[in-house]
C-alpha cells in the first residue's frame, strides 16, 4: 500500500471514530464494541466490492504489540493513582499472577476436553489458548464505570489487574509457544518457572532504571512540549529495549517506567499547567491508539472464523467464563482471609467477573501463532470469538449491573 493511501486510510479511520463516539453514547453501547463491528462490516463490504484493505494479520500483530501496547500501558501507569495502587497492590498482584495462572489452566482444561480431539488439538494447544485468553482488558468498561461514579477501589482492582495481568499472560504464552515449537526439548516445571521469574522481574528492573534515567532528563527540561516528548520516548525506549533486545518483559518495563515518571511529574507539578499538558497529551495518544486498534481489530475478523470454528468459539467462551468465575469468586474469598485486606464484596465480585473483558493482547498473541502449528486457525478463531463476546455481550451489561448493585455513585 502506498504511503499516501495509508495516510488517507488513517485519516478516514480517525474521522470514523470521531463520528462513532457520540453515536455510542447516544445508543448506550460500548464505544470499543461499536468500533469493532464497524471495522468488520466495513472490511466485508470492501471485500465484497473487490477492494483489498491491505491489512494483514501479521502487520496487525506488530501494530498492537509494538505501536499501541506501549502507549496504552504507559498512559495507564502514568495516570494511575500510585498511592491507591500500592494500597491495593497485594490484591492486584494476587489476581494478576497466581489467579491468572490458575485461570490459564482451568481454561486450558475446559477447552481441551470441550474440543475433545487430542491429536488435532493436543494439551499444548489448550495451554496456549488458556494463556492468551487469560489476558484481561477492561478498557471498554473502565471509562463507563468512572463516568457513572463507580467506587475508586473497584476501578483500581480491574485496572490494576489488567496492567500486571498482560505481562503475566504474555510471558506464560511465550513459554508455552516455545514448548510447542521445540517438542523434543525437555523443559521442566522448574526451568519454566525460572524463565518466568527472570522475564517478569527483569522487566521491572529495566523499567526502574529507564524511568529514573528519563526522570533526570525530564527535570532538566522546562518546555511543556519537550516534557511530553520525553515521556513518549521513555515509553517506547523501555518497551523495545526490554522486549526486543534484552528479552525480558516489555510490559513490566514500560509499566514501571510510567509509574516512576507519573508519580514524580504529578508530585512536582501539582495544579500546574505542565502536568495538565502532559496528561492531555497522553489522553490524545490513547484515544487515537484505541480508536485505530478496535477498528482494525474488526477489519481482521473474517466470516470463515464463524463458519469453520463456531463450536470451538462457543467452547472458548464457556471456558473463559468458567475460569473467570473460579478466579474472581474463589480468589476473592481466599485473599479476603488475609488480615490486612479489606474484604471484596459480592457486588464488587460480580462487576469484576463481568468486567474481565478480553481485547488487544489476546488478539495480538493469537495472531503471533506460527502457521506451522496445525491448530493455529482454531486457536485464533477462539480468541476472536471470545473477544467479540466480551465486547458485545459482557461490556453492555456493566452499566445496568452497576446500578443494580448500587455502585453507580461514588461510595468511597
* Residue 326's CATH number: 1.20.1530.20
On whether residue 148 sits in a domain, the answer given is: yes
Is 107 in a helix, a strand, or coil?
Answer: helix
Do 369 and 177 contact (CB within 8 A), yes or no?
yes
Compute the radius of gyration of the chain from its Cα atoms: 21
Query: pLDDT by residue for the chain (412 residues), tens digit each?
Result: 567 877 887 888 899 999 998 998 887 788 888 998 999 998 888 878 877 666 666 667 788 889 999 999 999 999 998 889 999 999 999 999 999 999 999 999 999 999 999 999 999 999 999 999 999 988 878 888 888 889 999 999 999 999 899 899 999 999 999 999 988 888 888 999 999 999 999 999 999 999 999 999 988 887 788 889 999 999 999 999 999 999 999 999 999 999 999 988 877 665 566 568 889 999 999 999 989 988 988 888 888 888 889 999 999 999 999 999 999 999 999 999 999 899 999 999 999 999 999 988 898 898 888 888 999 999 999 999 999 999 999 999 998 999 999 987 644 4
Do 111 and 316 contact (CB within 8 A), yes or no?
yes
On whether residue 65 sits in a domain, the answer given is: yes
Give me the number of domains the chain comprises: 1
CA distance 220 to 225: 13
On whether residue 397 sits in a domain, the answer given is: yes
On whether residue 410 sits in a domain, the answer given is: no
Around Cβ 386, how many Cβ atoms within 10 Å?
28
All 3 cell numbers of residue 279? 496528561
On whether residue 412 sits in a domain, the answer given is: no
On whether residue 367 sits in a domain, the answer given is: yes
Domain interval for residue 329: 3-404
On whether residue 411 sits in a domain, the answer given is: no
For the chain, the first-to-last Cα distance in angstroms comes to 52
Do 21 and 31 contact (CB within 8 A), yes or no?
yes
Amino acid at each position: 500500500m502506498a504511503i499516501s493511501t495509508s495516510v488517507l486510510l488513517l485519516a478516514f479511520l480517525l474521522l470514523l471514530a470521531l463520528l462513532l463516539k457520540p453515536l455510542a453514547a447516544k445508543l448506550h453501547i460500548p464505544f470499543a464494541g461499536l468500533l469493532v463491528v464497524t471495522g468488520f462490516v466495513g472490511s466485508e463490504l470492501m471485500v465484497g466490492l473487490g477492494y483489498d484493505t491491505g491489512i494483514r494479520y501479521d502487520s496487525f500483530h506488530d501494530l498492537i504489540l509494538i505501536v499501541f501496547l506501549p502507549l496504552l500501558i504507559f498512559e495507564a501507569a502514568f495516570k494511575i493513582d500510585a498511592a491507591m495502587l500500592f494500597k491495593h497492590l497485594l490484591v492486584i498482584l494476587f489476581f494478576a499472577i497466581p489467579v491468572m495462572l490458575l485461570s490459564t489452566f482451568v481454561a486450558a482444561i475446559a477447552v481441551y476436553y470441550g474440543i475433545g480431539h487430542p491429536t488435532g488439538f493436543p494439551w499444548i494447544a489448550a495451554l496456549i489458548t488458556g494463556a492468551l485468553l487469560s489476558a484481561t482488558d477492561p478498557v471498554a468498561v473502565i471509562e463507563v464505570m468512572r463516568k457513572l461514579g463507580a467506587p475508586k477501589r473497584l476501578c483500581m482492582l480491574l485496572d490494576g489487574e489488567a496492567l500486571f495481568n498482560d505481562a503475566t499472560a504474555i510471558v506464560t504464552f511465550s513459554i508455552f509457544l516455545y514448548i510447542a515449537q521445540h517438542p523434543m526439548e525437555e523443559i521442566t516445571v522448574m526451568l519454566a518457572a525460572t524463565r518466568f521469574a527472570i522475564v517478569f522481574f527483569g522487566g521491572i528492573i529495566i523499567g526502574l532504571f529507564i524511568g529514573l534515567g528519563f526522570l533526570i532528563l525530564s527535570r532538566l527540561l522546562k518546555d511543556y512540549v519537550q516534557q511530553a516528548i520525553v515521556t513518549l520516548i521513555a515509553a517506547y525506549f523501555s518497551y523495545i529495549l526490554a522486549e526486543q533486545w534484552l528479552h525480558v518483559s516489555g510490559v513490566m518495563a514500560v509499566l514501571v517506567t510510567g509509574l516512576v515518571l507519573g508519580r514524580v511529574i504529578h508530585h512536582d507539578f501539582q495544579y500546574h499547567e505542565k502536568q495538565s499538558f502532559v496528561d492531555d497529551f497522553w489522553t490524545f495518544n490513547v484515544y487515537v491508539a484505541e480508536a485505530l486498534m478496535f477498528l482494525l481489530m474488526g477489519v481482521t475478523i473474517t466470516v470463515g472464523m464463524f463458519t469453520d470454528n463456531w463450536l470451538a468459539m462457543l467452547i472458548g467462551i464457556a471456558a473463559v467464563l468458567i475460569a473467570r468465575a473460579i478466579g474472581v469468586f474463589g480468589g476473592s474469598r481466599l485473599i479476603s482471609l488475609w488480615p490486612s485486606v479489606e474484604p471484596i464484596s459480592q457486588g464488587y465480585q460480580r462487576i469484576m467477573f463481568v468486567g474481565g473483558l478480553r481485547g488487544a493482547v489476546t488478539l495480538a498473541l493469537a495472531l503471533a501463532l506460527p502457521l506451522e502449528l496445525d491448530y493455529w486457525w482454531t486457536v485464533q478463531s477462539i480468541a476472536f470469538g471470545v473477544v467479540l463476546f466480551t465486547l458485545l455481550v459482557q461490556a453492555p451489561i456493566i452499566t445496568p449491573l452497576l446500578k443494580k448493585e448500587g455502585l453507580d455513585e461514588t461510595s468511597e
